[in-house]
Structure 1
Amino acid sequence: MRNLPETSTPTGTDQQPIKREQISGGVQQSVRHESAERHVSGEALFTDDRAVPAGTLFAYVGLASIARGKILSMDLSRVLAAEGVVSVVTLEDIPGHRDIGPVFPGDPVFADGEVLFHGQPLFAVAATSQTLARRAARLAQVDYEPWPADLTIEQGLAAQSFVRPSHTQRRGDAAAAIAGAPRRLSDRMHIGGQEQMYLEGQVSLACPDEEGGITLYTSNQNPTEVQKLIAEVLAIPISMVTVDMRRMGGGFGGKETNANQWAVIASLLARKTGRAVKVRLARADDMTATGKRHHFVSDYDVGFDDQGLIQGLDMSLSAGCGYSPDLSDAIVDRAMFHADNAYFLPTATITGHRVKTDTVSNTAFRGFGGPQGMVAIECVMDDIARAVGRDPLDVRKDNLYGPEGGRDTTHYGQTIERHILPGLIEQLEQTSDYRQRRQDIAAFNRSQPILRKGLALTPVKFGISFTAQHLNQAGALLHVYTDGSIQLNHGGTEMGQGLFTKVAQIVATVLQVDMARILPTATRTDKVPNTSPTAASSGTDLNGMAARNAAETIKQRLTDFAAEHFQTTSERVRFHNNRVYIAEDQVLSFGELAQLAYLHRISLSATGYYRTPKIYYDREQAQGHPFFYYANGAAVSEVLVDTLTGEYRVTRVDILQDVGQSLNPALDIGQIEGAYIQGMGWLTTEELVWGGDGRLQTNSPASYKIPAIGDTPAEFNVALLADSPNVEATIFHSKAVGEPPLMLSISVWSALRDAIASLADYQLSPRLDTPATPERVLNAINSIKAITTLQQQNRGAS
């Protein structure tokens, strides 16, 4: 970890430099996670740990056993008669809205006469224990009329079946540019999906109140959305639903919309029975009934010159969306926005298809479509490099955005105002010793008949903001008590990433008090209303700004009061290191000033609000400024491949990430490491397999392989780009770190292709779909060997 300077760059609201020794836990300090000790000791309470009220019932769902078809009959008599059963609900028991689609309709609470995917909930049963509820749910007798099901993207495309209309972004005449280019390539790539695999599964506890409302405890990234949906389903005002969310044991997007259904079902049963109801899904059912990262098919046609400089690109990104829109419109949009990654496309046609399939509806996942767009263009870069016989890094560098020659505007019209990546890549190239390692690896590969090494450096340029403009807002609530202790609440949810810690650090810095004084409290819809989901890497940007505004409001009140009370000017009141200095001779502790202000009837509670400026997107013109700024980074990954088995190891990774002026370097580095490993899993081992009957076959950790500690590179070097404060007015000039580092793992996939290409002296670009399992790697190896052998035979014959 780099050493931080004793005096930081940003200043407090009184424009005094913030020094590390002043307060404990201010910004730019490597403060540990506010719940770290409780996580380790097991004292941290998650939703499933919460003590339930007396008489609580436990609910479970009955799931469809076909992929597509009509429900001819559903006999629930044996379910109702089962031991411990108190109540059952179906679609007919819903008093209000039956569809809980988050943006567009298409997500019924239960199947509505038709089955839309294998594992769709048909009904729910409440019993006196979870075991009894699960047993009862299996006793339903359901008769179906099966229909043919489209399970693949290709089937959906052939049927022209889409959950939302396709969308195209254009710049110039790509077709003409491609046709007139000296060189041309085209190919297709399959990009696999990914299960969120959060440690804490889907769980909600709904408690009815005396007024007919619901208090919901849930593991959910979007408390406001589930509050609204429960109100609509129960046909009650939104104000009668309170959602409480202290922490999640992981979310990664899988609890942005997919947590809603189980909360709604618990609330339905709570309303019907008048008793608290808890829903917790078993892992296999959780994986079966909830959406994943979208899988994609990428088709590209690219024209370029003899050096590999792109002249025109036509790319189609077809996403497998599942049975409903869910968030697919925005996800495919983001894939299209990031189909350039870090590269200038002088002419481009980027088309996104939202393909409907008869499978579970896919949803948000860390990166939200961006990773799929980026891996598609990185495939193009590797293919071009092999075609022109150059190091892929050199081709990438030549195609980067730059300030000269009009190469600074994206295909959707946003100008790149700061060109950080060229210098960042140059620095990483040096610190990772890329050029020497490239030579050493080439020599190693020439000398080895079985093992091959691969090396790749890939960049990341990731746009920060929700692509839906109205979501870029946040609120906060701050209470200062008369002893100087502080309670902090905001609209962001804590899913383990340290959001609560960073926002508390921000408040500590503004008020110049130790972070130990500040208690972050559970996200609650009755404290901060109308919140946005914790997603899009905007949690700290939005909620940190809102909390800062609340803290500044209280600070200004205290400043004005102290100036009046002690007969001085506001400019002479200074907050510093847990004390307040008034003029030259008066010093109070923060707590003493709070007590004095209370006695003089000064409000010590404030709300804060923030909305992101500058962002817009004209969908009709496919042009705009959808991102407040870009986060940048790059990674060098090295792999070792066994060409007889296709097995491989990632032996070393070097990462340089720009996080602006880091709020908490330790948390940021942890996020980078975790995101890289999660992305590595997506691209290598995590394979989703559906059977011909539409059933998800990889529905447990026994069959779905996430990276283990042994998969972590033996040499793992992570650094934060120094002296790179965000020029935009973000919170203390920091940059988002949640999602961007996941795409650094694309370097692993490129390194695998590099190792395989060495079998053809780097003259052929292997086809390698993701996830690049050992089986797929071996197939790519054998394909390259076969092509090379054929070429040699043809040369011999001639």
Structure 2
Amino acid sequence: MNQQAEPFLKDMKEAKDLLEADFTQVHVSRPHESAHLHVSGRASYTDDIPVVAGTLHAALGMSAKAHAKIVSMSFDAVRATPGVVAVLTAEDIPGVNDVGPIIHGDDPILADGVVQFVGQPMFIVVAMSHDIARRAARLAEVVYEELPAILTPQQARAANAHVLPPMKLARGDAGAKIAWAAHRETGEMLLGGQEQFYLEGQISYAVPKDDDGMHVWCSTQHPSEMQHMVAHMLNVASHNVLVECRRMGGGFGGKESQSGLFACCAALAAWKLLCPVKLRPDRDDDMMITGKRHDFHYTYEVGYDDTGLIDGVSVDMTSRCGFSADLSGPVMTRALCHFDNAYWLPHVSIDGFCGKTNTQSNTAFRGFGGPQGAFAIEYIVDNIARSVGLDSLDVRRRNLYGKTDHNVTPYGQAVEDNVIHELLDELEATSNYRARREAVREFNANNDVLKKGLALTPVKFGIAFNVTHFNQAGALVHIYTDGSVLVNHGGTEMGQGLNTKVAQVVAHELGIRFNRVRVTATDTSKVANTSATAASTGSDLNGKAAQDAARQLRERLAALAAEHYGEDQVDARDVRFVDDRIVVGDKAIPFDEVIMQAYRARVQLWSDGFYKTPKLYWDQAKMQGRPFSYYSYGAAVSEVVIDTLTGEMRVLRADALHDVGASLNPALDVGQVEGGFIQGMGWLTTEELWWNAGGKLMTHAPSTYKIPTVNDCPPVFDVRLFKNRNAEDSIHRSKAVGEPPLLLPFSVFFAIRDAVASVGNNTVNPPLNAPATSEEILKAVGAVRASVAAAAAAR
């Protein structure tokens, strides 16, 4: 062989092998990009940022009354405390005293003249240390004139006290259909709220900069919102404020809007004292100040036939919003739009009432109203099944959305790419549902104290912000001359793996290996006007924006490579990017070599990308439109055992099958499904919020609020991803995974209800409220026994 031809032939073979290789950086499992930092303790959170010399610490003075006028506040003892530097009140705010994300003016940073819940911040103490500030804040002498307080959703409804006008979504004539139905049923139920319980609490660190500038490190899901709030509070332009967030130790919605109060208080103290200030409330203070998942009270009426097919249904939902609107409007909107869950409801009437109460202002939480809406119809369908004497799965199947007909939601959006039928078929088979149902019946027939329950529940969850203009994102991608890539986007990392997925998308688009890509902290000075990382849209929006930026770079590089390395006028469209190589004809050139050549040729090696979700529109007044880009589907089967003497409950097994489209990263997505399931299970079983008669939240610490532990996880826990591709042009045809899995543990709640019903031989619908704590289970067992005894006596 000609020795001069050997390198050429070798290059040809390498180019041919690369073109034939199945190189991909998406649809593959990969560890979280910061996993090694998380497990080693080297991951940097806001509280880990090295403090600037002269940093002071702040603590908040909080109201002891649920609703009262502030007659006077004396800070003599506070200021006399050694180490205290300043005490700030609403009078010290130079701009707007408000952190309301939507309704402006109803959510003060610091109470001014009146307090509206126990725990509301009234003043800021700034001191040399965190402990000094916190202890000194307790020394203030406050005189109150108490006012009447409303504490529950039912009280708010009775008083017609609301933070927003009532909402209504309707189709057909529900009242008439219910009246004419073969069977009618009315009832009510309660669904409790939930504490976000992020591992990292709320925290902000503000450092003054030149010329009225302010740099705020904040644990937040919405840096742009924090930027706006701080700017308005300081009465400066947004470009004076930089908000940065590298990562959060969890958010779950609790850091979407409510991190604003802490960012503003830290920034106010820093602006007033011209020195850095850190505000890190203790867990107790955090839980006393911040809002939770909205708890709901429902009343309903339903009409159905002998097979359990729903003719008409009406439901009235009242949520506990707290003292201000916060995000309660869109939460209720999503609740109304998810009442249907996976079911075709031809005649339906849904009313939503946002109750104003003298409690913490409730806020976003994973699912954002969707779980509260879907819970109601699942409860109703569960009742129907027991009333007509059929298996609940069969009644659920009877009412499912159709494929080509009976497939339009009450708000007017067609349910396209409906895979719930196939998904249920697969889960029913793989979970061995029918045989296990018989085994549960046999167990219950032979046991008087312990009773088992089984339930399979479906999920249909809409993906997008239900405020259309929030569905946009931006990103920056930089390629350095050594071939390394730096990405910045508007999403925030809270442990869910967003940065990992975005890095995978960029690596795939540029045909390079994952380890070449690094994603930096979210920063309002890099990508402006970002939306919150919420509504399960993080990967959909930011992945598409980053892909757009990387695509522009690839096209520039392809043109350069075709011109510089190509022969016989190689078309740039034929240049391929594969495995750290750029293939031009018979040549495979290392990626970093092409980058250096591009730099020498003065090709721009950075680009911005942008994405806006298409097809969305929404008329809030009419409650009609296409608010969602697509739907995610899922289902779960849970088996439980209860002790009828103590109310104790255990989940014995859970099988979940969830649709994430063509998963970007199956390992991360399975982890999200598992985490969402356990978090939702906690909400529905153990996580009880309780306020005393004075309006004080008594479950305000890990010692009094019970989240699930590893011992609560089912010993058999099978989570699988449903094989599917998104019909919509989402990022690589994947689907969102953050929020929808939280609805899967409905199966746990209704399995508990199934077990309780077995006490009365499944003839009585148990009045079981959520969370199904031991106390609630015992009350429901007692009610079923009493009902059976009353029926026997009547005979």
User: Which band: TM-score by shorter chain?
Assistant: over 0.9
Matches within 5 A, 1:157-196: 157-196=157-196
Which residue in 1 is equivalent to 2:538?
A: 539
Deviates further, 334-343 or 84-93: 84-93
Q: Which residue of 2 aligns with 1:514?
A: 513
The answer to whether 1:596 aligns with 2:573 is no
| Structure-2 residue corresponding to 1:228 | 228
Structure 1: any 5+ residue segments left out of the alignment? Answer: 1-15
Match in the other structure for 1:7:
none
Task: Tell me the distance in 1 between the aligned counterparts of 2:676 and 2:32.
Answer: 17
Letter in 2 for 1:679: G
What amino acid does structure 2 have at the position aligned with 1:635?
A
- Cα separation, partners in 2 of 1:18 and 1:397, compared to 1, 3 Å: farther
* CA shift digits 1:640-696 (9 cap, x unpaired): 011111111000000100110000000000000000000000000000000011100
Aligned residues of 1:24 and 1:515 also touching (Cα < 8 A): no
SS at match of 1:164: coil
Secondary structure of the 1:580 match is strand
Query: Residue 577 of structure 2 corresponds to which residue in structure 1?
Result: 575
2:19–2:578 CA contact under 8 A, matched in 1: no
Contact map agreement 1:456 1:638 (CA 8 A) in 2: yes
Contact 2:23 2:578 in 1 (8 A): no
Contact 2:726 2:735 in 1 (8 A): yes
Deviation at residue 317 of structure 1 after TM alignment? 1.0
Q: Which SS does the other structure have where 1:345 is aligned?
A: coil
Check conservation: 1:24, 1:514, Cα contact below 8 A. Answer: no
Residues 1:148 and 2:148 aligned together = yes
Range with greater deviation from structure 2 (663-672 or 556-565): 556-565
Q: Structure 2: how far apart are the matches of 1:718 and 1:194? A: 24
Query: Do the aligned partners of 1:320 and 1:357 also contact (CA within 8 Å) in 2?
Result: yes
CA distance in 2, matches of 1:506, 1:123: 46
Alignment of 1:235-384 (within 5 A): 235-384=235-384
SS state of the match for residue 165, structure 1?
coil
Structure 1, residues 125-174: CA drift from partner, whole Å, max 9, x if none? 11111011111111111000011100011111111000000110110111
Contact 1:34–1:501 (8 Å) recurs in 2: yes
**Residue type matched to 2:535 in 1?**
A
Is residue 2:650 matched to residue 1:649? yes
Is 2:61–2:122's contact at 8 Å kept on the other side of the alignment?
A: yes
Over residues 219-263 of structure 1, what are the superposed CA-to-partner deviations in whole Å (9 max), with x where a residue is unaligned? 000000000110011011100111110000000000001111011
**Distance between the aligned counterparts of 2:363 and 2:141, measured in 1?**
30
Q: Deviations over 1:21-72 (max 9, x none)?
A: 9698811111000000100000000001111000000000100000001000
- The CA distance in 1 between the partners of 2:697 and 2:634, in whole Å, is 35
Q: Following the alignment from structure 2 to structure 1, what is the Cα–Cα distance between the partners of residues 742 and 193?
A: 14
- Partner of residue 10, structure 1: none
Amino acid in structure 2 at the alignment position of 1:472: N
User: Deviation above 3 Å: which 4+ runs of structure 1?
Assistant: 16-25
Do the aligned partners of residues 486 and 83 (structure 1) sit closer, same or farther apart at CA in structure 2, a change above 3 Å counting? same
- The verdict on how the C-alpha distance between 1:25 and 1:521 changes in structure 2, with shifts beyond 3 A counting, is farther
Q: Letter of the 2:297 partner, please give it.
A: V
Q: Could you list the per-position Cα deviations for residues 525-576 of structure 1 after superposition, in whole angstroms to 9, with x for gaps in the alignment?
A: 0110000000000000000000000000100011111122235321331111
1:589-640 deviation digits (Å, cap 9, x = unpaired): 1111111100110000000000001111112222111100000000000000
Aligned to 1:440: 439
- Normalization by structure 1: what TM-score? 0.96
**What does residue 476 of structure 1 align with?**
475
- Residue 78 of structure 1 deviates from its aligned partner by 2.0
Q: Secondary structure at the match of 2:668?
A: helix
CA distance in 1 between partners of 2:320 and 2:510 (Å): 49
SS of corresponding position for 1:61: strand
- Classify the secondary structure of the residue corresponding to 1:380: helix
Distance 1:758 1:273 in 2: 66
1:109–1:23 CA distance, 2 compared to 1 (3 A): farther
Mapped contact 1:60–1:125 kept (Cα < 8 A): yes
Indicate whether 1:209 and 2:209 are aligned: yes
> CA distance change for structure 1 residues 346 and 161 in 2, over 3 Å: closer, same or farther?
same
Q: 1:324 to 1:18 in 2, by over 3 A?
A: farther
1:453 alignment counterpart? 452
Please say which of residues 103-112 and 703-712 is displaced more in the overlay: 103-112
Counterpart in the other structure of 1:53? 52
Evaluate the alpha carbon distance shift between residue 515 and residue 18 of structure 1 in structure 2; reply closer, same or farther with a 3 A threshold: farther
Describe the SS at the equivalent of 1:163.
Answer: coil
Whether the 8 Å CA contact 2:154–2:318 is kept in 1: the answer is no
Q: What is the one-letter code of the residue matched to 2:329?
A: D
Looking at structure 2, the residues matched to 62 and 454 of structure 1 have their Cα atoms a distance apart, in angstroms, of: 48
Task: Write the distance in 2 (CA, Å) between the matches of 1:189 and 1:532.
Answer: 35
1:17 offset after TM fit, Å?
A: 14
Aligned-partner Cα distance in 1 for 2:671–2:50: 32
In the TM superposition, residue 791 of structure 1 has moved relative to its aligned partner by 1.4
The yes-or-no answer on 1:80 pairing with 2:82 is no
Equivalent-residue separation in structure 1 for 2:81 and 2:718 (angstroms): 57
Q: Deviations over 1:390-445 (max 9, x none)?
A: 000000000000035x3111111111112200110011000000000001110110
Distance in 2, matches of 1:130 and 1:588, equals 57
Distance in 2, Cα, partners of 1:20 & 1:717: 38
Higher mean Cα deviation, 612-621 or 535-544?
612-621
Q: Structure 1 pair 93/649, CA: closer, same or farther in 2 (3 Å)?
A: same
The letter of the residue matching 1:441 is V
Query: Which amino acid is 2:253 matched to?
Result: G
Residue 687 of structure 1 aligns with an amino acid whose one-letter code is: E
Partner amino acid, structure 1, of 2:427: L
Query: What is the aligned partner in structure 2 of residue 634 from structure 1?
Result: 635
Asked whether the equivalents of residues 206 and 216 of structure 1 are also in contact (C-alpha less than 8 Å), the reply is: yes
Paired residues for 1:693-772 under 5 Å: 693-722=694-723, 724-772=724-772
Partner Cα separation in structure 2 for residue 489 and residue 619 of structure 1 = 33
* Residue correspondence of structure 1 range 94-105 to structure 2 within 5 A: 94-105=93-104
Contact 1:482 1:595 in 2 (8 A): yes
1:25/1:31 contact within 8 Å kept: no
Question: Structure 2 vs 1, CA of residues 23 and 530 (structure 1 numbering), >3 Å: closer, same or farther?
Answer: farther
Q: CA, structure 1 residues 273+32, in 2 after alignment: closer, same or farther (shift >3 Å)? A: same
Give, in whole Å, the separation in 2 of the partners of 1:235 and 1:87. 21
- Do the aligned partners of residues 20 and 389 (structure 1) sit closer, same or farther apart at CA in structure 2, a change above 3 Å counting? farther
Q: Deviations over 1:301-355 (max 9, x none)?
A: 0011111100101111111000000000000000000001000101011111111
The Cα shift of 1:487 comes to 0.4
Q: Matched residues in 1 for 2:248 and 2:708: separation?
A: 21
Partner residue, 1:69: 68
Does 1:617 pair with 2:618? Answer: yes
Count of residues in correspondence between the two structures: 777
Measured in 2, the distance between the counterparts of 1:720 and 1:707 equals 24
Structure 2 unaligned residues grouped into runs of 5+: 1-14
Q: Is the 8 A contact 2:110 2:122 kept in 1?
A: yes
Structure 1 counterpart of 2:258, one-letter code: N
Distance 2:489 2:17 in 1: 24
Change (3 A) 1:453 1:126: same
The alignment-based identity, stated in percent, is 52
**Partner AA of 1:243 in structure 2:** V
Deviation, 1:85, is 1.3
> In 2, Cα distance between the equivalents of 1:572 and 1:681?
53
Contact 2:18–2:579 (Cα < 8 Å) also in 1: no
Question: Against the structure 1 CA distance between its residues 266 and 21, is the aligned structure 2 distance closer, same or farther, given a 3 Å change threshold?
Answer: farther
1:536, 1:18 → 2: CA distance? 42
Change (3 A) 1:20 1:323: farther
Q: In structure 1, what is the Cα distance between the partners aligned to 2:678 and 2:23? A: 31
- Please report the TM-score for the alignment, with normalisation by the length of structure 2: 0.96
In the TM superposition, residue 19 of structure 1 has moved relative to its aligned partner by 10
Seen in structure 2, the aligned counterparts of structure 1 residues 21 and 115 have a Cα distance that, compared at 3 Å, is farther
Distance, in Å, in 2 between the alignment partners of 1:478 and 1:17 is 29
State the superposition RMSD in angstroms: 1.4
CA distance in 1, matches of 2:584, 2:403: 49
Give, as a single letter, the amino acid of the residue that structure 2 aligns with 1:140: A
